[in-house]
C-alpha cells in the first residue's frame, strides 16, 4: 500500500505546484503588462511625458518622495486631469467587459458567447440615441450615461423574462430571444439615426463606435463600484460555474440551483456591461477575445479564468486606447472600431477552431 500511495501523493503535489506556478506566472505577467500599458498610456499624447516621470508623479501622489516629477510645466495637470482618468476608465471598462464575457461563456457553456448575446450593448445604445435625438437632460451631463445604463439593464431583463417558461430558462431559448431583441434594438437605433439631425447623428455614430475621449474622474468613481461588485460577484460564482460545465443535470445533482445561478449571472453580466458602455460607448469583442485567450493559457477553471480575464481585459483596452490616440497624429480613433478590427479576425479563427473540435472548450 505504501508503494501505491507515494506516487499518488507525489502526483497530487505536482499538480498543486503546477497549478500554483501557472496562477502566479499568469497574474505576474498580466500585472506587469498592465503596469507597462498604464505608464505608456499616461505618458503618450500632445504632451509626451517619459515613463520615469510618470512613475515619479504616481509615487509622489502616494506620499513617497522619490522619483522625478514631470519637467514639462503642464505635465502634472495633463497626467492627473486628462490621462489618468482616461487610462483608469479604460482599465475598468476592459476588466468589466472581459469578466462579463467569461461569465457568459460559463453560463452558456460555449466559448463563442459574449455579453452582446443578451442585448445589453444594443439596448444601451438605443436609449443613449433616444436621449441624444430628443435632446433630453433630466440629469444634466450624465443623462446619456444614465439612459445607457438603464437601457442595458432593462433590455437584459426583458430578454430573460421572454425566454423564461414554466419557471425555467433554456440556454438555446435565451440565445434566440437575445438575437430577436438585438434585431429589434438595432432597428430602433437605425430609426433614431433617421430621425436625428446632422449633429445628433454624428454624436450617435461616435457613441456607438466607442470612445474614451473626455473621460473624467467623476465617471471613474461611478464605474469603479459597478466593476468591483461585478468582478467580486463573478469570482464568488466561479465554483458553481465549474460545476455547471458538467451539464445542468449533473450540476443539479451536486446541489447547484441552476436557474438561480443563471439569474445571478445574467444580473452580474448586465451590471458589468451596462456600467462599462455607459461612458465608453459600445466596445465590441473584448468579452469574447480575452476570456478565450486566457482559457487557452490557463484552462477552463473559473477561479483562475475570471480574475485573469479581468486583468487581461484591462490590459487590452488600455493598449487599444493608446493605439487609438497615437495611430494617427492629431486624431482620436473610435476604440470600438479598433477592438472590432482585432476581434473580427479572431472570431473567424475561433469559429473555424470550434468546428474542428466539434464545439468543445479549448
Q: What is the CATH number of the domain that holds 220?
A: 1.10.3470.10
Question: What pLDDT does 102 receive?
Answer: 95
Tell whether 189 is covered by a domain. Answer: yes
Say what the pLDDT of residue 73 is: 81
Position 137 in a domain: yes
Convert 161-182 to b/e letters by CB count within 10 Å (16 or more is b).
Answer: ebbbeeeebeeeebbebbeebb
Domain presence at residue 335: yes
The per-residue pLDDT for 6 is 41
pLDDT at position 357 is 64
- Please report whether residue 70 resides in a domain: no
Residue 166 C-beta-side C-alpha neighbours within 13 Å: 2
Of 188, 234, 198, 2, which is closest to residue 95 (Cα–Cα)? 234
pLDDT given at position 354? 65
- Give the per-residue pLDDT at 238: 94
- Tell me whether residue 333 is in a domain: yes
> Which of the residues in the chain have pLDDT under 50?
1-10, 12, 15-17, 359-362
Per the domain annotation, does 69 fall within a domain?
A: no
- Grid cell, residue 319, equals 493598449
Task: Give pLDDT, residue 337.
Answer: 85
Angle at 47 between CA 46 and CA 50, to 5 degrees: 130
What is the predicted pLDDT for the residue at 131? 93
pLDDT digits (tens, 9 = 90+) for 320-339: 999 998 888 777 888 988 88
CA dihedral 252, 256, 258, 259 (to 10 degrees): 120
Domain enclosing residue 136, as ranges: 88-356
Amino acid at each position: 500500500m505504501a508503494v501505491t500511495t507515494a506516487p499518488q501523493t507525489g502526483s497530487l503535489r505536482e499538480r498543486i505546484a503546477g497549478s500554483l506556478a501557472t496562477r502566479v506566472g499568469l497574474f505576474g505577467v498580466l500585472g506587469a503588462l498592465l503596469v507597462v500599458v498604464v505608464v505608456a498610456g499616461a505618458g503618450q499624447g500632445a504632451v509626451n511625458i517619459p515613463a520615469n516621470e510618470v512613475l515619479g508623479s504616481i509615487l509622489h501622489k502616494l506620499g513617497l518622495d522619490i522619483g522625478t516629477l514631470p519637467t514639462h510645466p503642464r505635465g502634472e495637470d495633463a497626467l492627473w486631469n486628462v490621462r489618468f482618468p482616461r487610462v483608469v476608465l479604460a482599465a475598468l471598462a476592459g476588466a468589466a467587459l472581459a469578466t462579463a464575457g467569461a461569465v457568459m461563456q460559463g453560463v452558456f457553456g460555449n466559448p463563442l458567447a459574449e455579453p452582446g448575446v443578451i442585448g445589453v450593448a444594443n439596448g444601451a445604445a438605443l436609449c443613449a440615441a433616444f436621449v441624444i435625438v430628443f435632446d433630453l437632460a433630466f440629469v444634466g451631463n450624465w443623462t446619456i450615461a444614465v439612459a445607457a445604463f438603464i437601457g442595458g439593464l432593462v433590455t437584459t431583463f426583458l430578454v430573460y423574462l421572454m425566454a423564461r417558461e414554466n419557471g425555467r430558462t433554456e440556454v438555446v431559448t435565451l440565445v434566440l430571444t437575445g438575437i430577436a431583441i438585438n434585431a429589434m434594438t438595432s432597428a430602433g437605433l437605425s430609426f433614431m439615426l433617421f430621425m436625428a439631425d446632422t449633429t445628433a447623428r454624428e454624436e450617435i455614430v461616435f457613441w456607438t463606435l466607442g470612445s474614451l475621449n473626455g473621460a473624467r474622474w467623476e465617471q471613474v468613481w461611478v464605474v469603479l463600484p459597478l466593476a468591483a461588485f461585478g468582478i467580486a460577484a463573478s469570482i464568488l460564482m466561479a465554483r458553481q460555474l465549474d460545476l455547471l460545465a458538467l451539464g445542468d443535470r449533473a450540476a443539479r445533482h451536486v446541489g447547484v440551483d441552476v436557474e438561480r445561478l443563471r439569474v445571478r449571472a445574467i444580473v452580474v453580466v448586465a451590471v458589468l456591461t451596462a456600467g462599462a458602455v455607459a461612458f465608453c460607448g459600445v466596445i465590441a469583442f473584448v468579452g469574447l477575445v480575452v476570456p478565450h485567450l486566457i482559457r487557452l493559457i490557463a484552462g477552463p477553471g473559473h477561479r483562475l479564468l475570471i480574475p485573469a480575464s479581468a486583468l487581461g481585459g484591462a490590459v487590452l483596452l488600455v493598449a487599444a486606447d493608446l493605439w487609438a490616440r497615437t495611430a494617427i497624429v492629431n486624431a482620436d480613433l473610435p476604440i470600438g472600431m479598433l477592438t472590432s478590427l482585432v476581434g473580427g479576425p479572431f472570431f473567424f479563427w475561433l469559429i473555424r477552431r470550434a468546428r474542428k473540435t466539434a464545439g468543445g472548450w479549448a
